[in-house]
A = this chain, B = another copy of it.
Amino acid sequence: MSAKKVQQPDARAVRMPAAERRELILAAATAVFAERGYVGATTDQVAKAANISQPYVVRMFGTKEKLFLEALDRAMGKLMGSFRSVIADYDGGRLAEKVAALDPAKGDSREIQLKQLMSLAYADLVQDRGILLMLMQSFISGHEPVIGARAREGFVDIYRLVRDEAGLGEEMTRDFLAHGMLMNTLISLRLTDLYGQDSSVTELLECTMGVKLPLLLAHDAPP
């Protein structure tokens, strides 16, 4: 027998600058909260996903609630950042190629084109399940005193962005948000995983997602 004690390779995580570790934990937390929700997720699951110890998670963020809030801010930031760059790129004329590829049957006003481009950006963002599910989880946390308040603020921010910065009119804003919510639902229900396996599900997805479907079927791949 070897005199050396057998050690698990990841028993102690590699040292790492705090900022980097933070982002790593936030990414792990996003995935866990996305699946299990605020109440359902445990700090231990987050720790395991980030390959560190549970007390360290708490040490770094103070409380589970603060961790959730930071993960939520991060998700909101990515979503709004994505929309803002679409708007900026469109208005800066840097999306001519993508605009040309849009369905011309849907008209060609700025409003309509921007709505289509933002839908595509949204579908693209959704490929990281975590971000969108994180938002979804916040949307159903209205009863939580702190998280609920932040979630409402976030939703209003998104509305203002779509309405004022993108400049979509009333009807288009409503439709844009509504279809986004439907997409979120299909993804969090995991119906998208059953595409092609069940005829009703397949029909449902093709009916509700339309052209965005192919974009949704790529799954998260491990790094």
Judging by beta carbons under 8 Å apart, are A174 and B182 in contact? yes
Counted per complex, copies of this chain come to: 2
A155 within 8 A of B: yes
C-alpha gap A136/B179 in the complex (Å): 16
Contacts of A37 in B (CB 8 A): 37, 39-40, 140
A210 within 8 A of B: yes
C-alpha gap A71/B40 in the complex (Å): 19
* Central interface residue in A39, A140, A174, A190, by most chain B CB within 10 Å: A140
Query: Of B36, B152, B182, B194, which is within 8 A of A143 by CB?
Result: B36
Judging by beta carbons under 8 Å apart, are A207 and B163 in contact? yes
A177 within 8 A of B: yes
- Looking at the assembled complex, report how far the CB atom of A198 sits from the nearest CB atom of chain B, in whole angstroms: 8
Task: List which A189-206 residues lie within 8 A (CB) of chain B.
Answer: 189-191, 194, 198, 200-201, 203-204
Residues of A within 8 A of B (CB): 35-40, 133, 136-137, 139-140, 142-143, 148, 151-152, 155-156, 159-160, 163, 170, 173-175, 177-179, 181-182, 184-185, 188-191, 194, 198, 200-201, 203-204, 207-208, 210
Q: Which 8 A-B pairs have the closest CB atoms?
A: A39-B40, A142-B190, A178-B178, A181-B181, A178-B182, A142-B189, A140-B188, A181-B182
